[in-house]
């Protein structure tokens, strides 16, 4: 792969420079570059697939996306079957605020994103928001999908 032996010159020819039968001291980097390029492509394709989330059918709105943060956002999710999760970990509703306080104490960002399935009644979403507010989480953002109705009928 990297080192080889030089062959004798053909009869009647003389080689200049190196002596006969000496090992080549050059490294062939072409296979290394090929492997690195393949790995780069694999990681570029696989990176977007690594985002893990709880499958929730979010309602659609015309709201703009929130500005990005340097750390992963703290997310509370209400699933269609009424389960509450912090990130992807199921939590009993009575322990939600205590768990969030423990997690938020180790973070710089105080924002909490609330994701709720569109099938969840409005009252349940507001109960969770009220519990978050009473627990000291005042920077709560509701997560929705974009592309919903704008409810703007041209100023009529």
125 belongs to a structural domain: yes
89 belongs to a structural domain: yes
Q: How many domains would you assign to the chain? A: 1
* Residue 7: both structure tokens together: 């062959």
Q: Where are the alpha helices (DSSP H) in the chain?
A: 30-46, 96-104, 122-134
Domain of residue 78: give its range.
74-143
Q: How far is CA 142 from CA 42, 50, 73, in A?
A: 34, 23, 12
* Whole-structure pTM value: 0.53
8 A C-beta contact, residue 62 and residue 150: yes
87 belongs to a structural domain: yes
What are the pLDDT digits (tens) for 29-76? 899 999 999 999 998 888 877 666 667 777 777 767 666 666 677 888
136 belongs to a structural domain: yes
5 belongs to a structural domain: no
Q: How far is CA 9 from CA 6, 18, 21, 22, in A?
A: 9, 12, 10, 13
Q: What is the CATH number of the domain that holds 109?
A: 3.30.420.270
Q: What per-residue confidence (pLDDT) applies to 18?
A: 53
What are the pLDDT digits (tens) for 112-149? 888 888 888 888 888 888 888 888 888 888 887 777 77
């Amino acid at each position: 792969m990297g080192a080889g032996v030089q062959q004798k010159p053909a009869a009647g020819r003389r080689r200049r420079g190196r002596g006969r039968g000496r090992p080549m001291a050059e490294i062939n980097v072409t296979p290394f570059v090929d492997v690195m390029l393949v790995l780069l492509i694999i990681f570029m394709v696989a990176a977007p697939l690594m985002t893990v989330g709880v499958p929730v059918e979010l309602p659609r709105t015309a709201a703009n996306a929130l500005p990005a943060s340097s750390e992963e956002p703290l997310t509370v999710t209400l699933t269609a079957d009424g389960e509450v999760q912090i990130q992807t970990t199921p939590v009993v509703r009575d322990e939600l605020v205590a768990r969030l306080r423990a997690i938020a104490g180790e973070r710089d960002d105080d924002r909490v994103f609330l994701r709720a399935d569109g099938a969840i009644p409005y009252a349940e979403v507001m109960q969770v928001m009220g519990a978050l507010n009473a627990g000291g989480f005042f920077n709560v953002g509701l997560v929705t999908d974009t592309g919903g109705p704008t409810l703007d009928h041209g100023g009529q």
